[in-house]
Structure formats: C-alpha cells, structure tokens
Amino acid sequence: MREVSVFSLKRIGTIVVVFIACLFLTALAAGRRASVVQSRESAGVLRAGTAKIDITPKKSVKMAGYRGRTGLSTGVHDPLSARIVAFERDPISQKDGEMGTQSNGKRFVLVSSDLIGFYDGTAEHVRKVILNEFDLEPSELFLSSIHTHAGPSLTIDKEEGHPHNLEYTETLTAKLIEVIRKAFDNMGTVHLGAGIGYSPVGLNRRELRFDSLGNSEIKLGRNPYGPTDKEVLVVKMTKPDGTAIAVLFDYAIHATCLGGKNYVISGDVLGLAEQFVEKILGQDVIAPAFAGASGDINPWFRVLPAFNTEPGWIPEPVLLGTVLGEEVVHVFRNIERVSGGGAIKTAFVTLELPGKAKNELTIEKDCPPTSLNISVARVGDIAFVGIGGEVLTEIGMSIKAASPYKHTFVITHCNGAAGYLPPEHLYVEGGYEIKSSPFAPQAADIVVKQAVKMLHEL
C-alpha cells in the first residue's frame, strides 16, 4: 500500500508539472499571437490627405435657412469653402496560418462644407456621385455641413429650383469630386492627437415664456440654464516631422448668428471660426469644422439682420467665431502627444424610426416611419458619429458619455437631412423643434443605443 501511494504521488506530481508546463506554453503562444496581431495593427501606416476648395456662389442665389427670406443674395461677406480630410491605411499582408490573408486597405473621407446642409434629396444625389467616383463604401464617406444659415440652398429640382441654385448645386458636386481627388493625391504618412476645450458661445434656445394670462410656451430665445454642450473637440494632424497640416474641430452650435433679413453670404459662426484658425496657423493648415448636436443650441447673439458696421463695433458673428476659433487654437497648441498607425474602421446603417407628421404635435396610429442615416468611424483611438439630421444637444451628450472612446466627434447634418431629432422628455414641453420633428418620442433612445452599439462594434 505504501509503494502504491508513493507511486501515485509521483504520478500526480508529474501530471501537475506537465499541466503547468502546458499552461505556460499556451500562455506564451497566446502572448506571441497577441503580439503578432498588435505588430500587424501598428505596422499598418496611417496616411491622410487634405484639401480645400472655394465654393462661394459666383451668382446671386436663393439662401437657405429661413422661409420668409425669398429674395436672392446681394453680396459676400466671407468666402465659403469645402474642406476634405481623406484617411487611408496601407494594406497589410497576413500569411500566418489561421490568421488568413488580408490585402485591402481601408479609407475614410470626411467632408466639411460651409453650407446649411444637403436637403431636398441632394444628400443622396451627391453621395451617390462621390461613392461611385472613388469606389467608396457608404460607410467610408461623411458628407457634412456646418449648417450656416447665410449660405445658398441646394436643389436638383429643375421645375421648382431657381436656375442659379441648380447651376450652383451642379458646380458644387463637380468641385467636391475635384477636391476629394486632390486630397487622395496628397496622401502621406500622418500622426494624430486629440484634445478637449470649452467655449461659451453656444446657448440653449428653448426659452419658457408666459403670456399676459399666465399661459406658458416654449419659444426660440435664450435659456441660460438649459443643457448646453460646451466641449470643443480638436484633432491635431501632423506630418511625421511635426509639421501641422490640419486641425479638425467639433462644436455644438447653430450657425444662426445672422437671421432672415440678412442677404449677404457668410459661413457665420463656424465658418468664421474656421477662417480664423487657418489665418493664425498658416495657409498650409486647413481647419474643417463640424456641427455637433446643436438642434436646440443657438449662438449667444442670434438672428441678427446684418453685420453691424458701426465704428468700433465688432460684428457679432465675427466676435463669436473668433472666441471659438481662439479656443480651438489653444487646444491645438496644447496637444503634445501625437501618434501614427492605428486602425480605420467604419459602419453605416439606415434606421426606420417611429415617425410623426411634421408641424404636428400629435402622433397618428398609422403614421409611417422616418428614415435616418447613422454612420460611425474610428481612426486610431478617435471616433466619429455622423447623424443625418438635426439632433438636439442632450442626444449628442448621451452618445459621447456612453462611447468607449475618449474622444468622440458627434457630427450632425451628415449623410442626410431628416429633420429635428429631440429627446423623449421634451415632447411634453413642445416647442418649435418638437412640432417640426418627423420623429416620434421614442426615436431618440433608439438612435443613442444604435450609435453606441456601433461604436462598441468598431
């Protein structure tokens, strides 16, 4: 019995040693595989190209943003531009057994245009032309605007559209093809870094007012105590030697400093901020802006009739654009850590959301759904969410808070123009955004969950 026990103990000891050795070898192999994957991930070189083109109307055009403004533009205060950042990751050849073979690179094109948006079917039209021209997947293109209300309206309606606007839209499409091709031609290795600043120029506009009888109503005005996303997200793009080539920034604000009585072309707050940043950082740097979730956020000074030329007065759009632009430059200059490499991943989905008739507060039982495009992308550890509508700020803040990425650009008026998307709790209050929305109250929650899910899947 004693010999059996010793033998058994020796055998058990041998088994334990072999088991531990197997665990060690398995862990070593797993670590090696992980390091192989990581080395492949970092081996892919992140490349990008930038370009900018003037899209200022050459003729008088009908302007966008205010229904009561029926005349043609009378002049230009500052130029409009389209700014492009095209990303590309060099393909990696993988030949390590079960890892398979991957030979295709990934691309991602960001378009920032000094326009109100691509309404009335123009988003689908222009996107189709660009996707076909460059053989892009739908998820690889973010076609966006800064939502200036002092720019031209786009149209492809040959019966109802003004001839000058039809011509402008056709010319714009050709210019976007030209400038995107230039960005691809300018491809080179880049490094990226990101930072966060804050700006006070945006203000919640859902103001509670009472009439003489005490009846309450939500009006467009100033609500200093309402939710406002003050974050200014900034991405710094440089060449490997540190030379700056682009600064991308995202801020939640309506470009409505100028109102319906203004007939002069301008990029308004965001457009003027872009121009300021480029002036300070130099002509070799482009500064594409993106409108964050700002459906209920106006500039501190809103819907003014014109640029004030009173001696000594700084016109409000210029003042606010400069304040925002200075914060962008401050953040840009404080970004010290930039890195190359990193994955490019993109995804796109069209949601059929619970709908509501526009200009109505009640929801009919048989109301058809409303479509909304959601695009997500990742470049390294920086994320982008594009939403094809006018999203209220609480929704954008929710997406950023739930995102697995430290820096998440929420870009509205991107790849579509479905209309206002308010959060559910505001439907009780009513107001302009709620009445004009084509979405039922539960739509916003679906969008937030879908966007966050897509970010996690990247």
**Per-residue model confidence (pLDDT) at position 78:** 98
CB 68 within 8 A of CB 147: no
**Per-residue model confidence (pLDDT) at position 362:** 80
**Per-residue model confidence (pLDDT) at position 44:** 64
**Of 328, 422, 429, nearest to 372 (Cα)?**
422
**Per-residue model confidence (pLDDT) at position 354:** 95
The answer to which of 143-147, 160-164, 313-317, 358-362 has the lowest mean pLDDT is 358-362
**Per-residue model confidence (pLDDT) at position 105:** 55
| The pLDDT of residue 418 is above 50 | yes
Residue 29 maps to a domain = no
| The pLDDT of residue 104 is above 60 | no
The answer to which of 31-35, 71-75, 293-297 has the lowest mean pLDDT is 31-35
pLDDT category of residue 6 using cuts at 50, 70 and 90? very low
* Cα-to-chain-centroid distance, residue 411: 2
Which residues form the domain of 374?
Answer: 46-457
Over residues 359-377, mean pLDDT = 89
| The pLDDT of residue 91 is above 70 | no
* Cα-to-chain-centroid distance, residue 54: 21
Residue 37 maps to a domain = no
Cβ neighbour number for residue 164 with a 10 Å cutoff: 18
**Per-residue model confidence (pLDDT) at position 435:** 95
Overall domain count for the chain: 1
**Per-residue model confidence (pLDDT) at position 98:** 37
**Per-residue model confidence (pLDDT) at position 101:** 31
Over residues 187-202, mean pLDDT = 97
- Tens digits of per-residue pLDDT, 256-272? 999 999 999 999 999 99
**Per-residue model confidence (pLDDT) at position 365:** 78
Element (H, E) at 185: helix 163-185
**Per-residue model confidence (pLDDT) at position 375:** 98
pLDDT category of residue 295 using cuts at 50, 70 and 90? very high
The answer to which of 183-187, 286-290, 312-316, 354-358 has the lowest mean pLDDT is 354-358
Residue 231 maps to a domain = yes
What are the tokens at 141? 């293109």
pLDDT category of residue 363 using cuts at 50, 70 and 90? confident
Percent of the chain with pLDDT over 70: 87
Question: For residues 315 and 334, what is the distance between their CA atoms, to the nearest angstrom?
Answer: 29
**Per-residue model confidence (pLDDT) at position 81:** 98
Sequence-ordered alpha helix ranges (H) in 256-392: 268-281, 316-334
Percent of the chain with pLDDT over 90: 83
**Per-residue model confidence (pLDDT) at position 35:** 42
**Per-residue model confidence (pLDDT) at position 45:** 84
Cross-strand bridge partners of residue 391: 421
Residue 104 maps to a domain = yes
| The pLDDT of residue 96 is above 60 | no
Strand 75-76 relative to strand 344-353: parallel, antiparallel, unpaired? Answer: unpaired
**Per-residue model confidence (pLDDT) at position 341:** 80
